[in-house]
Amino acid sequence: MIHPELKRKILAAILGCATLVSGALAKQVQADTTLPRIDPPSGFGEGVQTELTPSQLGELLPWARNAETALRELLDGIRPLSMNQKRQQLVTGIQLIVKDSGHLQPELLMRYVLNRALRIYDLLAHKRRADSAPGTVDSQVRLLTQSVELARKYARSDIEFLSGHSSPNLRPTAVFAIEYAAFLMRLNSAILDASAQYEIGLLTLGFLQWDLYRDINRLAYAAAIQRISGFLGSVPENSLRDDQEGLAILRKTLKTYYSTLELLQPLVREVAEAAGDVSLPAARDEFRIGHTPSLLLEYQFDRQSLHEDQAMILDSSRNRSNGICQELCPFYVPGAFGAAGSFDRNQVILPTRSLKNSFGIEFWVRLERGQLGGFVLGADNRGRDSGLGISVGLESLAVIEQGTGYRPVLTQFRLITNRWNHIAISADDRSVTIYLNGVPRFAYRSTRGDLYAPTRLGWDAYGGYFQGIIDELVIFRAPLSADEVSQHYNTGKQALPESDL
């Protein structure tokens, strides 16, 4: 008689899961895992064929190798071109590569990425017919360029699969699901049209559930698949109205994505490492200041904020210094460290009204092309005293003070858009130093009464709303030293890829 434990191991080996079912994954598999039927995204022609004949392999393997070379040459060839020329060259090049793959419908991740890029490009072109709309050409070129880069990354996996060097059961579909969804959400954060944002958000969730469903370990992802399926069944498929109800649905779409991602990342990492096939790219370390006696608030726009009640930005410190949103809180998008707040006609009231003369503030900010910037921190008008404000605009940063009949621009200097910038303000008994990316850039002494800290995030009474992305806002009740600012900047910098700096 076979020992029960040995029998369990034999069955697991037969199923090809002996190296995969462990820890959190085993708990998920043993749970109630009744899954809805998930079909391929409509109109995308997604191939599902994993068993290929020798003649089919003989047709596809040369294509995959040639495609890998063609993608590299395509990226090299567009470097000297204008944006419009890049767009046309990328579309033509991708179309030819997809066409050359023939009539077969294999499960090839490289082909998935390229085919999806063409369809999403058509969606963007349809939604934003006028190339003069802010960011239109830039977002299209970014979609196509980054799709080519992602396709190149997964070309090696496809070639190994077609060469017989990896089992179809160990295709990195779950890892691909996470990475591709994150790619689309980064793209989505730079699109200003709410209806287009919504449709790409729905596509992202649809692709995520489909790619997970195709994985051999789909039962391990049952909770995530069911969550997405339930959400997609509850929202309209057509275009979103640009009103408060529409914005609330868009916000719910983004929150569904991030809450689903929290379920998935530990499982995907465990499966990828156990299979020994492909490693999930290391998650960016969270940028945490850590509790200090002078810390007033820390807004990460991250995990804790995902569960907010749509009226507050939650403080991650011990102080419960939550920000109160006027109307809607900012949306959540991929940020410098986890998620970030995407501001566009959003304002948050900060609990800083009594903070004056000595304080420290730091945050990370990014303007995508097409985003106009504005006042990240709005100045508080205190009559004969003064309030400090910080504006980040197109390639510039400005510092202002405000009081009754008093609103000078104290300094203005250049910064790079489409990159993360770290900004810090240190006020020591009204002596103020402004830092950009860890380096002091301007210092002055405020001479008009008390100097009050900003009380609004994303809005200024005279300057209006901020349009851009903010991450990791931290405010202290005491000034910051140059060493502290440098340390915080360098800690954050190490967690960012070079392309984001």
Facing residues of 426 across strands?
360, 433
- Say yes or no: 316 and 217 in one domain: no
Give the chain's count of helices (H) and strands (E).
Answer: 11, 19
Residue 243 Cα distances to 233, 239, 246, 247, 466, angstroms:
21, 12, 5, 6, 19
Q: Within a domain: residue 339?
A: yes
Q: Which amino acid is at 373?
A: G
pTM over 0.95: no
- Say yes or no: 88 and 217 in one domain: yes
Alpha-carbon gap, residue 91 to 10, rounded angstroms: 50
Q: Within a domain: residue 288?
A: no
Alpha-carbon gap, residue 84 to 134, rounded angstroms: 14
Q: Within a domain: residue 206?
A: yes
Output the pLDDT for position 15.
34
Tokens in use for 6?
């040995």
- Say yes or no: 232 and 300 in one domain: no
Output the pLDDT for position 151.
92
CATH number at residue 396: 2.60.120.200
Q: Which of 245, 275, 305 is the last residue of a domain?
A: 275
Q: Within a domain: residue 11?
A: no
Cβ 122 vs Cβ 153: under 8 Å: no
Output the pLDDT for position 58.
84
Q: Within a domain: residue 261?
A: yes
Cβ 441 vs Cβ 332: under 8 Å: no
Q: Which runs of E-coded beta strand occur in 121-237? A: none
- Say yes or no: 235 and 325 in one domain: no
CA atoms within 13 A on the CB side of 277: 26
Q: Which of 275, 310, 330 is the last residue of a domain?
A: 275
Alpha-carbon gap, residue 364 to 385, rounded angstroms: 28
Tokens in use for 54?
């020798």
Q: Which of 244, 275, 306 is the last residue of a domain?
A: 275
- Say yes or no: 376 and 265 in one domain: no
- Say yes or no: 349 and 243 in one domain: no
Tokens in use for 53?
């004949």
Tokens in use for 410?
């104290």
Q: Within a domain: residue 26?
A: yes
- Say yes or no: 142 and 262 in one domain: yes
Alpha-carbon gap, residue 376 to 365, rounded angstroms: 9
- Per-residue confidence of the chain (501 residues) as pLDDT tens digits? 434 443 344 334 333 333 333 333 334 444 444 677 888 777 777 777 777 788 888 888 999 999 999 999 999 999 888 888 999 999 999 999 988 887 767 778 898 999 999 989 988 877 555 454 545 677 788 889 989 999 998 888 888 888 876 665 556 688 888 888 878 877 776 665 677 778 888 999 999 999 999 888 888 889 999 999 999 988 887 666 655 677 678 778 877 887 787 777 666 555 455 544 333 333 333 445 555 778 999 998 874 444 445 578 888 888 889 898 886 788 877 777 777 888 988 899 999 999 999 999 999 999 877 678 899 999 887 788 999 999 998 778 999 998 888 888 888 888 877 889 999 999 999 999 999 999 999 999 999 999 999 999 999 888 888 999 999 999 999 999 999 999 899 888 877 766 666
Tokens in use for 46?
């997604």
Q: Within a domain: residue 33?
A: yes
Alpha-carbon gap, residue 289 to 329, rounded angstroms: 23
Nearest to 58 by CA among 164, 174, 143, 180: 164
- Say yes or no: 52 and 161 in one domain: yes
Domain that holds residue 271: 19-275
Output the pLDDT for position 479.
96
Q: Within a domain: residue 10?
A: no
Alpha-carbon gap, residue 488 to 424, rounded angstroms: 10
- Say yes or no: 205 and 347 in one domain: no
- Say yes or no: 255 and 384 in one domain: no
Alpha-carbon gap, residue 199 to 202, rounded angstroms: 5
- Say yes or no: 128 and 265 in one domain: yes
- Say yes or no: 236 and 350 in one domain: no
Question: How many structural domains compose the chain?
Answer: 2
